């Protein structure tokens, strides 16, 4: 029996002020976004490219279109990027990608079209599913898919990248899907996996048993991250959502886990369970943490709707349905892959499986005039709606086989299909 969704309270609609396909080939997905310095953003695409563009005009920056960045190792292997982050140390302008080729590549916008560094874990290179950077501790971490009964988190010190600094090989037993260094304590790393576990490590410890400080059992992990110094969220591939308290050691209130166990009993997690009914959606894209707010971002494909629901703590975490933010039209009937909030301009950037980056004006800011997109978009402006409709028609047959890496059609069928599949 199909669920009956009661309508949300009146949502505040954002204004779309710009859009661009970043000159990607027709049918490409734009998979992920990240900052690239104060004035630009970077994107990875299913056409195996890394593109850097002006965040105001959405024009590609000259000399920073990197193509075929993670080629297949052989005809039977898969290719393409899987994750993207900025090594944001304030001066270097480095971007870091992980790929199905098992490599981490570091890209320097100032040094042409070849990677500045290529980081390897050895001779056997299982595909990588996640990458994270901690400039404060000089570390880059990458998580592997399951290979030969092992899934590893590998670390490199960017000051001596020729060899791995360390590796954690025993804490996960399936594909690693998420890595995040804590924005509140850069020595802490969170990992998530399809083995249902979220782990938190102290990366100053090379011994894995000593490094592992907290384990959360939730479900096959789609997204996870730190909400504060006291809490972390977990979102599963089947839209189960929960917020867990961090233990006393992770919070910095104990110097050992044993001391932490003597601290007053921890609060219980807030388990929202399957949030599709509560959010009136059929997929959840991610959780966004800003300086002021936390949002859970979700979409309803058939209604071409994408919402940001505030998640507030007063005193227990809950959804604030009175303050929903809506992106009218969103990315049509295609999945939104990434949402990036630029707090300096109060702009929201989205990318998706329609092949576009779109910019939305956040509340408390006067709407801007529509901005200029790239040259290809300008030339095709008159036929834009027709072209988008044609692309959508050719892709409608594929929209129920969504997969975390956005590979080619045949390759996606080999991967887990439940991540974005509407129910």
Q: What is the pLDDT of residues 288-323, one digit of tens each?
A: 998 889 999 999 999 999 999 999 998 899 999 999
**204: its two tokens:** 């100053």
Closest among 275, 293, 265 to 223, alpha carbons compared: 275
Is residue 412 very low, low, confident or very high in pLDDT (cuts 50, 70, 90)? very low
pLDDT for the residue numbered 256: 67
Residue 18, domain member (yes or no): yes
Strand pairing class (49-54; 60-67)? antiparallel
User: pLDDT at position 356, please?
Assistant: 98
Q: Is residue 394 in some structural domain?
A: yes
φ and ψ at residue 259, rounded to 5 degrees: -65, -40
pTM attached to this predicted model = 0.84
The verdict on residue 342 lying in a domain is: yes
pLDDT greater than 70 at residue 372: no
Given pLDDT bands bounded at 50, 70 and 90, which one contains residue 144?
very high
- Percent with pLDDT over 70 in the chain: 80
Q: Which residue has the higher pLDDT, 264 or 295?
A: 295
Question: Whole domain around residue 348: which residue ranges?
Answer: 1-41+276-423
Residue-level pLDDT at 369: 46
Mean of the per-residue pLDDT values for the chain?
85
pLDDT of residue 258: 64
What is the count of structural domains for the chain? 1
Distance (Å, whole) CA 152 – CA 173: 9
Tokens linked to 335: 């999945």
Closest to 190 in 3D by CA, of 256, 235, 150, 158 = 235
Position 327 pLDDT exceeds 70: yes
Q: What is the pLDDT of residue 165?
A: 97
pLDDT (tens digit per residue) in 216-263: 999 999 999 999 999 999 999 999 999 999 999 898 887 766 665 655
In a domain, 202, yes or no: no
Quote the pLDDT of residue 72. Answer: 93
**pLDDT range class, residue 417, cuts 50, 70, 90:** very low
- CA angle, 30 then 111 then 144, to 5°: 50
Cβ atoms < 10 Å from Cβ of 289: 16
| Interior/surface letters 344-364, b for 16+ CB within 10 angstroms, e for the rest | eeebbbbbbbbbbbbbbbbee
**Residue 398 pLDDT > 50, yes or no?**
no
Of the pLDDT bands very low, low, confident and very high (cuts 50, 70, 90), residue 181 is: very high
| Segment 389-409 mean pLDDT | 42
Is there a domain that residue 60 lies in?
no
Task: Give the integer Cα–Cα distance in Å for 181 and 170.
Answer: 19
In 176-323, beta strands by DSSP E: 176-181, 188-193, 197-202, 212-217, 221-226, 231-236, 240-245, 270-274, 283-289, 294-300, 305-313, 317-319
Give a yes or no: residue 17 inside a domain. yes
Question: What's the average model confidence in pLDDT over 401-414?
Answer: 40
- Residue 239: inside a domain, yes or no? no
| Residue 361, pLDDT score | 92
Distance separating alpha carbons of residues 149 and 172, to the nearest angstrom = 10
Residue 96 contacts residue 143 (beta carbons within 8 Å): no
Q: Which of 128, 142, 137, 143 is nearest to 157 (CA)?
A: 137
Closest CA to 177 of 156, 203, 199: 199
Say if 383 falls within a structural domain: yes
Across the range 2-28, mean pLDDT stands at 80
């Amino acid at each position: 029996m199909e669920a009956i969704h009661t309508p949300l309270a009146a949502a505040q609609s954002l204004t779309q002020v710009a859009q661009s396909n970043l000159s990607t080939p027709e049918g490409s997905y734009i998979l992920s976004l990240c900052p690239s310095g104060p004035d630009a953003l970077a994107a990875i695409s299913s056409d195996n490219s890394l593109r850097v563009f002006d965040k105001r005009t959405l024009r590609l920056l000259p000399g920073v279109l990197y193509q075929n960045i993670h080629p297949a190792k052989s005809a039977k292997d898969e290719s393409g990027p899987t994750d993207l982050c900025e090594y944001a140390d304030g001066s270097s302008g480095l971007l870091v990608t992980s790929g199905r080729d098992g490599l981490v590549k570091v890209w320097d916008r100032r040094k042409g079209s070849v990677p500045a560094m290529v980081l390897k874990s050895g001779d056997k290179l299982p595909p990588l599913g996640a990458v994270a950077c901690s400039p404060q501790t000089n570390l880059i971490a990458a998580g592997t898919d399951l290979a030969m009964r092992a899934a590893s988190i590998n670390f490199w010190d960017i000051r001596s990248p020729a060899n791995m600094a360390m590796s954690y090989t025993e804490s996960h037993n399936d594909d690693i899907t998420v890595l995040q260094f804590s924005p509140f304590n850069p020595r802490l790393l969170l990992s998530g996996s399809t083995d249902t576990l979220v782990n938190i490590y102290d990366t100053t410890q090379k011994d894995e048993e000593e490094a592992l400080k907290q384990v959360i059992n939730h479900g096959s992990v789609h997204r996870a991250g730190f909400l504060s110094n006291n809490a972390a969220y977990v979102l599963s591939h089947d839209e189960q959502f929960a917020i867990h308290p961090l233990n006393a050691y992770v919070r910095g209130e104990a110097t050992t886990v044993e001391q932490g166990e003597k601290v007053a009993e921890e609060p219980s997690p807030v388990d929202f369970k399957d949030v599709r009914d509560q959010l009136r959606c059929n997929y959840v894209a991610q959780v966004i943490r800003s300086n002021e707010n936390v949002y859970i971002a979700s979409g309803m494909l058939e209604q071409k709707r994408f919402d940001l629901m505030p998640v507030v703590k007063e005193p227990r975490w809950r959804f604030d349905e009175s303050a929903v933010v809506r992106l009218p039209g969103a990315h049509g009937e295609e999945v939104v892959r990434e949402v990036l909030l630029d707090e300096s301009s109060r702009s929201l950037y989205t990318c998706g499986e329609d092949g576009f980056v779109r910019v939305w004006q956040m509340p408390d800011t006067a709407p801007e005039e529509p901005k200029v997109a790239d040259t290809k978009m300008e030339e095709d402006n008159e036929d834009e709606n027709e072209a988008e409709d044609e692309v959508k028609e050719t892709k409608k047959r594929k929209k129920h086989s969504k997969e975390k890496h956005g590979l080619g059609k045949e390759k996606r069928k080999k991967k887990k299909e439940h991540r974005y599949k509407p129910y």
